[in-house]
Structure 1
Amino acid sequence: MAFSADELRVLRRALATALNPAPLQDDDVQDCLRLADSVDEAVREAGRLRTFVLADLARYREALPGSLSGYLELLQEALGAGYDPGADDLAALRALRGSPGAAVLLARCQVLAERSVRARLARVTQATATALPARARLLALPGGRASEEGPKPPAPSGPARPGPKAPAPGERPVPKPSEVFPPRRRPVPPPPPEERAAG
């Protein structure tokens, strides 16, 4: 954005007034309002131009590889205007690596994309840190139920083994392994032949 000589004079007067407050004449107030309107219009025009360039860039990207030169030119223009290259741009440039211009732009876009991702992660981390209050440590206070009950016996050393869980009301208890798989009984040997003959 470039200011004309008249606009720069108005801007200088406005800055001087902001640093050293003093009553402004009506003409100075009108000049400041006109300058503010001009800046707002320039910002709106820049937004419209950015929207147009990005839509054009998407059309050229879809027409690749036939639109290579136009795509690279538009991408450079968009990057100069602060555009963060997306995954589609990186994929298109990787497919066009045979072109020296595409290879140079790919390296530049990878750096910009990585920087953009880091900045987004930093913002998310900062927002999360400010949204979640720091947890205060819980301190045991003297007195209370623990002192009324007296000292507790020391906990047994070694890993604790969980005992059997009691079934809930109306729930069938879990059978023991010996109930599911009863022990096998050894077969009784047949009587000797003499006893069979005598019988």
Structure 2
Amino acid sequence: MAFSADELRVLRRALATALNPAPLQGEDVQDCLRLAEAVDDAVREAGRLRAFLLADLARYREALPGSLPGYLELLQDALAAGYDPAVDDLAALRALRANPRAAVLLDRCQVLAERSVRARLARVTQTAVATTPRPRVRLLALPGGRAADEPKPTPAPPPAERPVPKPSEVFPPRRRPVPPPPPEERAAG
């Protein structure tokens, strides 16, 4: 973004006022408001231009391989503007890696995509750590206050401990099954 000489003068006055607060004249306030509006317009226009560039990039990607030179040029422009390559871009470049320019761009896009994924994972991890509840701290009563005036109750005796059962008491021994008598004894019986 480039500022004109007048806009730079207004910006310098606004920064000086921010550093050394003093009452502003009406004309200075109007100049600051006009500059803020111009900056907002430039930001909106940059957003519209970015959306157009990404839509154009998608159209060229869909028309591959016939649109290879235009696609590679648009992708380079988008990367220079801060675009993170999408999965579709990586797939298209992999299919076109026989072209030396596409192969170089594929290497660059893979590095950028990996960096973007790592940054997203780091943000998710930081968010998860920040939102993880801390363990509750046990509150202790401080001496004094109303509790010091009241009689202290006697603590209840601890419950009697039960003996731990033996495994043979919990799981009785298995009885071995009696084998059936031989067939001769069954017939005689």
Q: Same fold (TM over 0.5)?
A: yes
* 2:158 corresponding residue in structure 1: 148
* 1:134 corresponding residue in structure 2: 134
Structure 1 unaligned spans of 5+: 165-175, 192-199
Q: Which moved more, 1:79-88 or 1:129-138?
A: 129-138
Q: How does 1:59-98 map to 2 (within 5 A)?
A: 59-98=59-98
* 1:124 corresponding residue in structure 2: 124
Deviation at 1:152, TM superposition (A): 5.5
Larger C-alpha radius of gyration, 1 or 2? 1
Aligned equivalents of 1:161, 1:64: Cα separation in 2: 77
Q: Figure out how many residues of one structure are paired with residues of the other and give that number.
A: 170
1:184 aligned to 163, 180, 183, which one?
Answer: 180
- Say which SS state the counterpart of residue 89 (structure 1) adopts: helix
Cα distance change, pair 154–184 in 1 and its aligned pair in 2 (3 A) = closer
Could you list the structure 1 runs, at least 4 aligned residues long, displaced by more than 3 angstroms after superposition.
150-156, 159-164
Deviation at 1:135, TM superposition (A): 2.3
* 2:43 corresponding residue in structure 1: 43
Letter in 2 for 1:87: V
Letter in 2 for 1:184: P
Q: What are the superposed Cα offsets for residues 56-100 of structure 1, whole Å, 9 maximum, x if unpaired?
A: 000100111110000011001111111110100001111111112
- Say which SS state the counterpart of residue 158 (structure 2) adopts: helix
Matched, 1:9 2:19: no
TM-score by length of structure 1 reads 0.75
Give the root-mean-square deviation of aligned CA atoms.
3.1
Q: Which moved more, 1:129-138 or 1:9-18?
A: 129-138
Aligned equivalents of 2:7, 2:61: Cα separation in 1: 40
Letter in 1 for 2:30: Q
Aligned equivalents of 2:126, 2:90: Cα separation in 1: 28
Aligned equivalents of 2:18, 2:61: Cα separation in 1: 47
- Say which SS state the counterpart of residue 184 (structure 2) adopts: coil
Instruction: Report % sequence identity.
Output: 68
Structure 2 unaligned spans of 5+: 139-153
